[in-house]
Amino acid sequence: METRQLGNSSVQITPLIVGTWQAGKAMWAGIEDEEVIKAIRAAVEAGMTTIDTAEVYGSGHSERTIAKAVADIRDRVVYATKVFANHLKYEQVLEACDRSLTNLETDYLDLYQIHWPSGTWQSEIVPIEETMRALNHLKEQGKIRAIGVSNFSRAQLEEAMQYGRIDSLQPPYSLFWRQVEADTMPYCIEQNISILAYSSLAQGILAGKFGPNPQFAEGDHRAKNKLFKPENYERVQAALAQLQPIAERKGCTLAQLALAWLITQPQANAIVGARNAEQALANVKAAEVELSAEELQAIDAIGRTVTDSLDSNPVMWEF
């Protein structure tokens, strides 16, 4: 798979990135460690060599699972992890980074990201200058190669950039969730900041895996996703029906079509998870789907039949 430069850094990432929230198991149902390990390994062996995780995914379980999958081929993979909103004081950032290094069985992180802005999820407010000072120190030490942020607004991103180079933004972004295009994407284009889109398949919706009446197991956080609200989900189902013929003409799945569209957007790369090796290998094939300008325009228009009715709040869930 081709690689792309991460912002202005020396890090090269794949346009499709292995997502591992599910590997943490917390807030998910039916996840098996051994299957996830096989999925990560299969994706990497097939060329999808960038892996995204976070300390909060299962309190380090996701990071440790990644190490079990690929620690023996560390030189072939790019690690991106995140520090959570409750660890943004100077010393806390340093300690969190060391924990992630231990969990991932490595001595450096290719990308270290602020997971949520200070103050979110009832966290203490810490000046961004203090957090960035810690991240810059880690960079100087060689423990991290690049700094990124996640779930930041344009104003928050601009403020962080006053204290050091930010090379990536990780927002929720998919054909059915596009608030970032209006708020932050223009700044990312201007500053050459890579966009690492999470929930790139709208948590499985764009794979067409849910029927007209989706049901979730106890503890599955997707039940709180706003796209499953009846008034939104009706439009989702209609849009999927319009996308299906395009996918069939391209000889690909709905998921591959949605990912192929996403990685053609300005600065955009797609984080996509997998429960097993079969799903992982199917994700990899999305990089081979080539879309014409006319096809991209048609897909874009179908996506807007869903997104035009959503509000401007970028948070996907009603927790």
CA dihedral 117, 120, 124, 128 (to 10 degrees): 10
If pLDDT is split at 50, 70 and 90, which confidence band does 214 have?
Answer: confident
| pLDDT of amino acid 76 | 97
Token duo for residue 272: 């996509």
Token duo for residue 199: 């929930």
Q: Which of 94, 9, 22, 85 is nearest to 51 (CA)?
A: 22
| Secondary structure element (H or E) that encloses residue 147, with its range | strand 147-150
Q: What pLDDT, in 10s, does the model give residues 70-98? A: 999 999 999 999 999 999 999 999 999 99
Q: Are 101 and 108 in contact (CB under 8 A)?
A: yes
Q: Does 229 reside within a domain?
A: no
How far CA 90 is from CA of 63, 83, 134, in Å, comes to 22, 12, 5
Token duo for residue 219: 């503890």
If pLDDT is split at 50, 70 and 90, which confidence band does 225 have?
Answer: very high
User: What is the CB neighbour count within 10 angstroms for residue 249?
Assistant: 10
Q: What pLDDT, in 10s, does the model give residues 273-299? A: 999 999 999 999 999 999 999 999 999
DSSP helix/strand/coil, 275: coil
| pLDDT of amino acid 183 | 84
User: What is the CB neighbour count within 10 angstroms for residue 292?
Assistant: 9
Q: Which residues are tagged catalytic?
A: 57
Q: Does 297 reside within a domain?
A: no
Full residue range of the structural domain in which residue 89 is found: 4-204+256-289
Q: What average pLDDT does range 304-318 have in this prediction? A: 92
If pLDDT is split at 50, 70 and 90, which confidence band does 212 have?
Answer: confident
How far CA 190 is from CA of 13, 14, 269, 275, in Å, comes to 20, 21, 17, 36
| pLDDT of amino acid 216 | 87
Q: Does 283 reside within a domain?
A: yes
If pLDDT is split at 50, 70 and 90, which confidence band does 27 have?
Answer: confident
Q: Does 232 reside within a domain?
A: no
Q: What pLDDT, in 10s, does the model give residues 151-177? A: 999 999 999 999 999 999 999 999 999
Q: Which of 147, 159, 202 is nearest to 184 (CA)?
A: 159
* Residue 101 pLDDT > 90: yes
CATH of the domain at 159: 3.20.20.100
Find the farthest-apart pair of alpha carbons in the chain and give their distance in angstroms, rounded: 54
| pLDDT of amino acid 221 | 84
Asked whether the CA dihedral 250, 260, 21, 172 is positive or negative, the reply is negative
* pTM confidence score: 0.96
Q: Does 119 reside within a domain?
A: yes
Q: Does 148 reside within a domain?
A: yes
State how far the Cα of 23 lies from the Cα of 17, in Å rounded to an integer: 14
Q: What phi and psi, each to the nearest 5 degrees, are found at residue 152? A: -95, 145
Q: Are 50 and 229 in contact (CB under 8 A)?
A: no
Token duo for residue 194: 């890579």
| pLDDT of amino acid 112 | 99
First and final CA of the chain: distance in angstroms?
Answer: 37
Q: Does 133 reside within a domain?
A: yes
* Residue 209 pLDDT > 90: no
Q: What is the CA radius of gyration of the chain?
A: 18
Query: How many structural domains does the chain have?
Result: 1
Percentage of the chain modeled with pLDDT above 90: 88
Token duo for residue 50: 């960038």
Q: Does 313 reside within a domain?
A: no
* Residue 197 pLDDT > 90: yes
Residue type present at position 316:
M
Q: What pLDDT, in 10s, does the model give residues 233-243? A: 999 999 999 99
| pLDDT of amino acid 235 | 96
